[in-house]
Structure 1
Amino acid sequence: MEIDGGVVVGVDSSASSLRALIVAAEEARRRSVPLHVVRAWSFRTAPRPADCPPNVVPSMDEFQQSVLADTERIVANKLGEHPDLPVHIHVVHSPSPQALLSASRGADLLVVGHRGRGGFAGLMLGSVAEQCVRHAACPVLVVRPSV
């Protein structure tokens, strides 16, 4: 995946990543740069293609298209119309940390969600956020849950 500047955000369907998407879009608008939405997937996390019969194993391409369509839906639902903001969606069959760290090499900013579970655990970063903070090639913004 080629990223040449802009704000990168990691998105899945979790509440923390959806909040990160909104914050990343606001930051990209402030900076007047493109927003790159990165969705890493595996067979375990990919939504099953809707048109695939139950007894059939979907192909990699079918999974890829299903993840892309799901990600486009997520972006449309959260950001609505965004004529003032160029949005590029990158769907990658890869573990999340590797996809985000790779994208960070060309990004101005990487935005990730916080996955704390409340209480003491709420003070700690999730494993993906922690890896990004430690190893990203650009600044990282960890978006905490709203209270």
Structure 2
Amino acid sequence: MGISLSLAGLEALRFAVAEARRRDSRLMAVRAWVCHRSSWAWPDREYERTLADKARRTIVEAFEEAAGEVPADLPVVRRTAEGWPPIVLKESVTSPRDLLVIGAGRRWPAGEVVRACVRHQACPVVVVPPPEMARLARGRTTARRLFREAAAALEKNQGNVPD
């Protein structure tokens, strides 16, 4: 499962959790990070550690946003690695029976990462589109705001539900 904080990525995480439960298998949450280098400037180790830490925090944040927390009833393996996401995801696949789940990204039906994953994986790939509300809102910021407002309204009104 490729981890992303995009709305499609969070939807993909929900799908992957449900699928891992259905298959009674572990879930590997993978977040790739890239340390951009040029011929004249090599980032130092501290910068690379910062990027790796951010990737680890992104996995935790994605579970919190998508499911409230990392599921306790499911074995979850967290992996972060430096590299281009399709390569990191390909290296994370251990069997042709694995299932790679990724969010569609900004360009639906397929962006560069999605196309590369579908083209080069040795296992089935599920590409999860963003939620319908996000597609209708036509924008990540607007859709996230709408989701947060809806969640706040539900939370506020939970105590006001008649028995």
Matching residue of 2:150: none
Separation in 2, partners of 1:30, 1:73: 24
Using structure 2 for the length normalisation, give the TM-score: 0.67
The answer on 1:101 being equivalent to 2:90 is: yes
Of residues 112, 128, 133 in structure 1, which corresponds to 2:118? 133
- Shift in Å, 1:141: 0.7
Contact 1:114 1:125 in 2 (8 A): yes
C-alpha RMSD of the superposition: 2.1
Of residues 111, 114, 118 in structure 1, which corresponds to 2:101? 111
Q: Quick one: which amino acid aligns to residue 16 of structure 1?
A: A
Of residues 28, 32, 39 in structure 1, which corresponds to 2:20? 28
Q: Quick one: which amino acid aligns to residue 88 of structure 1?
A: V
Q: Secondary structure at the match of 1:92?
A: strand
User: Structure 1 vs Structure 2: percent identity of aligned residues?
Assistant: 35
Of residues 53, 59, 75 in structure 1, which corresponds to 2:47? 59
Q: Quick one: which amino acid aligns to residue 23 of structure 1?
A: F
Q: Quick one: which amino acid aligns to residue 52 of structure 2?
A: Q
Larger radius of gyration: 2
CA deviations 1:20-42 (Å, max 9, x no partner) are 11111110010010111110011
Using structure 1 for the length normalisation, give the TM-score: 0.73
Separation in 2, partners of 1:59, 1:143: 32
Query: Which has more helix, going by share of residues?
Result: 2
- Structure 2 unaligned segments of length 5 or more: list them: 37-43, 133-163
- Shift in Å, 1:116: 5.0
Contact 1:28 1:35 in 2 (8 A): yes
Matching residue of 2:155: none
Q: Quick one: which amino acid aligns to residue 115 of structure 2?
A: E
**Higher relative contact order, structure no. (Cα contacts within 8 Å, ≥ 6 residues apart):** 1
- Shift in Å, 1:93: 0.8
How many residues matched?
123
Query: Which has more strand, going by share of residues?
Result: 1
